[in-house]
Amino acid sequence: MSEFSIKTPALTLLPAVDVAGGKAVRLTQGKAGTETNHGDPVDAAADWIEQGAEWIHLVDLDAAFGRGDNLHIIKRVIHAAKGVNVELSGGIRDDRSLETALETGAKRINLGTAALENPEWAASVIASYGEAIAVGLDVRGTTLAARGWTEDGGDLWEVLARLEEAGCARYVVTDVTKDGTLKGPNVDLLKQVMQRTERPVVASGGISSLDDIAELRALVSLGLEGAIVGRALYAGAFTLAEALDVASD
């Protein structure tokens, strides 16, 4: 019998920094107009890094909604987050915006609407960039949400099957109805997705407590790699340091 015990890898936590109008904000259910302001995005990211973050989930909400961008702020955050991985999302829909996103120094780019509306382009990007590309599956029920969650983007299972065929490296799964609500993650949805892919999955939406972190930690053996944490951290429900302890138990 081995003297070494086999331990399940830790759940990776990605504290969120969502940027709109140059400020760090949080939305409820992804709806424009529900923003709560949390100040300078660079300061927000610095706080998470000080508490032990190894990843930051950085979103340009203005780009996602098609109302401009915060590229100068995004670059500032990534520059200040040296030594920490950044997953960047928001408005990346063609070669030009993808190249701009990659040039920021982000470790991973999260495609959203483009993966739904332009399958051939998405497949070519997945083939070219591999692990540097994740696809966000933003869901209401089993219907995907696109264009900053303002339009329907097709059936979840049909799109997932297509992305599997294209060789997508990773999925970020968000229950839109849970996002920013502090009502707990949609564990059933996550399990259903993980049953249909061997690729790592990152959970997003609804985390409200350390118990939720523990519940997600238990899914690591099924293929859950990480979880994006937003409103609960900003609301002070727990600290990132506390969450990281639970995620590694």
Reported as a single tens digit per residue, the pLDDT across 77-110 is: 999 998 899 999 999 999 999 999 999 999 999 9
Q: Is the pLDDT of residue 222 over 90?
A: yes
Question: Which residue in 221, 170, 174, 157 sits closest to 199, CA to CA?
Answer: 170
Catalytic residue among 18, 47, 69, 175: 18
Give the whole-angstrom CA distance, residue 196 versus residue 150.
26
> What does 98-133 look like in DSSP terms, one character per residue?
HHHHHHTT-SEEEE-HHHHH-HHHHHHHHHHHGGGE
Give the whole-angstrom CA distance, residue 157 versus residue 137.
10
Q: Token match 């470790």: residue?
A: 107
Residue 42 exposed, middle or buried by CB count within 10 Å (0-12, 13-18, 19+): middle
Strand stretches in the chain, DSSP E: 12-20, 23-26, 36-37, 55-60, 85-89, 108-111, 133-140, 143-146, 151-155, 171-175, 201-204, 224-229
Half-sphere exposure of 164 (CA within 13 A, CB side): 15
The token pair at 71 is 């590229």
Reported as a single tens digit per residue, the pLDDT across 8-17 is: 789 999 999 9
Q: Is the pLDDT of residue 148 over 80?
A: no
- Catalytic, 152? Answer no
Q: Is the pLDDT of residue 151 over 70?
A: no
- Catalytic, 94? Answer no
Question: What's the mean pLDDT in 111-128?
Answer: 93
Catalytic residue among 138, 175, 179, 212: 138
Computed over every residue of the chain, the mean pLDDT equals 89
Reported as a single tens digit per residue, the pLDDT across 197-215 is: 999 999 998 899 999 999 9
